[in-house]
Structure 1
Amino acid sequence: MAELTIKEIEKKLTSIQDEKDEFLKDCEQDTRKGVQALVQRWKKNKAEEKALEQQYKDMTQYEQALYKKGYKLIAGVDEVGRGPLAGPVVAAAVILPQDAYLPGINDSKKITEQKREELFKQITDCAISIGIGIIPANVIDDVNILQATKQAMKKALLSLSEKPDHLLIDALELPIEIPQTSIIKGDSKSVSIAASSIIAKVTRDRLMVRLSNDYPQYGFEKHMGYGTAYHLEALKKYGITNEHRRSFAPVRELIEYK
C-alpha cells in the first residue's frame, strides 16, 4: 500500500463495490490520514447507496404485489397544480418496466429542482410509456378543480401508447374501466406514482416558465402560479389574466371587489 499515492488509492477505490474487498481492507490498515479519510468517504457513500436501494425497494411493494398477480403494465397516475391561482392542472401517467431502477425517486415536492430534472430524464429514458393531460384555467372554473383533476388524469391515460392493465393512483379513484388502486400519499409510497408526480411537476413548471414570458409582471417562473405575496400584489396591481382561475377565492374576491 505504501507504494501507492493517495491519489492512486482514491482512483482505485472508485471501482470497489464489495465491503469485504481485500484492497479496502488494506486501506483500512493504512495509517495515513488521507487514506483514512478516503475510506470513511467510501463507507459513507456505500451507506447512502444502500439506503437508496432500500428506499426504492420499499417503494416498489405495490408494484411487486401486482406483478405477482399477473399484471404487467402498471401505470402510476398523479397530478400537480390543484392549488395555484393561475395556470393549468397537469396530470401524468407513467408505465415503468419491471426492472426499472431510479434511486432517489420520491414525491416531486420532496426533492430539489435539480434532482427532479435528473429523474425526469431517467424516467423518460426508461419508461415503457408516458402520457400527459393538461386542463386549463377556464375549464377548472367551469367544472371545479376536482373534476378538472380527474379529466387531466383520464387524458393522461388515454395518451399512453400502451394500455395499462392496472392503475396506481394518488388518493383518487377514476371512473374508468381499468382495475385501480388508490393510495393515500401514493407519490411517496409507489415508484410508479412518484414517477408520474415528477413528470407532471416538471412539465407544469416548464409551462409556467413559458407563461412568464407572456406575463412577465406576475413572476410565474418564481411561484408557478401559487398565491404568494408577490403574486397577490401583482394581481392587485395588474389585474387578472386568462390564465387565472376566477373561481379561486383570491381571484374571485378581486373580481367581486371591482
Structure 2
Amino acid sequence: MASKKRAPTREIEKAMWALGHQTVVGIDEVGRGAWAGPLMVGAAVLPRDTRVNGVRDSKLLNEREREFLFDRITDWCDAWAVGGASQDECDRLGMSAAQKLAARRAIEGLGLVPDVAVTDGKWDFVSPSVANVELEVKADLRCLSVAAASILAKVTRDRIMRAEAEHYPHWSFDTNKGYPCPVHKAAILGYGPSSIHRRSWVFMENYNPWTAIRRTPPAGQTSLF
C-alpha cells in the first residue's frame, strides 16, 4: 500500500547513471482521466547531491502540501518543464497521441537533451522525444525525479483549472479540477458541458441532456454507432 512515510529514492537514477546516462529526466502525467481541461506531463532533472524533503507522488499529498513544495522543487531542479495537450487536442488526436504530444512539449521545454527518461507504468509515451526510456511500475512512488515531476504537473494543472473556474463557475473546477464527482455530474445535467469539456468522452452521452450539444466521435472513429 502506498504511504507518505516511504520516501522515493534515487536508486533508479543511480542505476541509469551507472549505465553511463549522464542526464536522467523523470516524467509523469496528470489529467488523463479528467472530463474537462488539459492533460499535463511534468519533466524533472534533479541534481545528484541534494534533495528536497517531503517529495512524494502527488496523489499522496493534499493541495496545500503540493503548492508548498512546488517552488522548492523548481528551485532545486537542474531543469524542469511541464507540457500540455488541450481538451481540443485530446478530442482531436485521442488520448494516446495527446499524451505523447504533451510529453514532447515537456521535453522540449527543458532546454537540454536527456540521455534517458524514467516514467511510471508499462506504456512508453515518451519515445521518440528521448532516445532511451526506462519504464518502471510505481515509479511515481519509488523514483524521486518521477515524484517531483508528478508534483510539477499536478500543481500546474490545478492552477489552470482554478483559473478556469472563474470563467465557468457552475462546474466547480476550483474543487474538482475537471474530474468526475457528484457535483460535477450534477452541473453537466443542469447546465450541459462547458467549452473546456472533452466532447468525445462518454459522459457526454450519460450525463448531458442537451440534445443540441452532442458527443463528438473519438479520434479515429467516424461514427458513434
Q: Which moved more, 1:169-178 or 1:104-113?
A: 169-178
Aligned-pair identity in percent equals 33
1:197 corresponds to which letter in structure 2? S
| 2:20 equivalent to 1:67 | no
**Match in the other structure for 1:175:** 127
Q: How far apart, in 2, do the equivalents of 1:257 and 1:237 lie? A: 9
**Aligned counterpart, 1:113:** 63
1:187 aligns with 2:140: yes
Matches within 5 A, 1:84-233: 84-171=34-121, 172-173=123-124, 174-176=126-128, 177-233=130-186
Q: Partners of 2:206 and 2:197 in 1: how far apart? A: 13
Q: Which SS does the other structure have where 1:91 is aligned?
A: strand
Q: Please give the secondary structure, in 2, of the residue aligned with 1:248.
A: coil
Question: Shift in Å at residue 192 of structure 1?
Answer: 0.7
Q: In the aligned structure 2, how far is the partner of 1:79 from the partner of 1:150?
A: 10
How far the C-alpha of 1:149 sits from its partner, in A, is 1.3
TM-align CA RMSD: 1.8
Task: Work out which structure has the larger RCO, using CA pairs closer than 8 Å and 6 or more positions apart in sequence.
Answer: 2
Is 2:30 aligned against 1:77?
A: no
1:24-73 CA-partner distances (Å, limit 9, x unpaired): xxxxxxxxxxxxxxxxxxxxxxxxxxx97xx44x6211011112222221
Q: Which structure dedicates a bigger proportion of its chain to helix?
A: 1
| CA displacement 1:103-124 (0-9 Å, x = unmatched) | 2211100112222122211110
Contact 2:161 2:174 in 1 (8 A): yes
Distance (Å, rounded) in 2 between the aligned partners of 1:147 and 1:154 = 11
* Distance change in 2, residues 1:257/1:114 (3 Å): closer
**Is the counterpart of residue 251 in structure 1 residue 204 in structure 2?**
yes
- Report how many aligned residue pairs link the two structures: 205
Measured against aligned partners, the alpha-carbon deviations of 1:181-216 in whole angstroms (never above 9, x if no partner) come to 011121101001001000000000000000001101
Q: 1:241 aligns with which of 190, 194, 198?
A: 194
TM-score w.r.t. structure 2 length?
0.85
Q: Structure 1 residues 135 and 111 mapped into 2: Cα distance closer, same or farther (>3 Å)?
A: same
Q: d(CA) in 1 for partners of 2:207 and 2:95?
A: 19
Question: Which ranges in structure 1 are unaligned for 5 or more consecutive residues?
Answer: 1-50
Unaligned runs of 5+ in 2: 212-225
Larger gyration radius, structure 1 or structure 2: 1
Checking the alignment, whether the CA contact within 8 Å between 1:133 and 1:154 is kept in structure 2 is yes
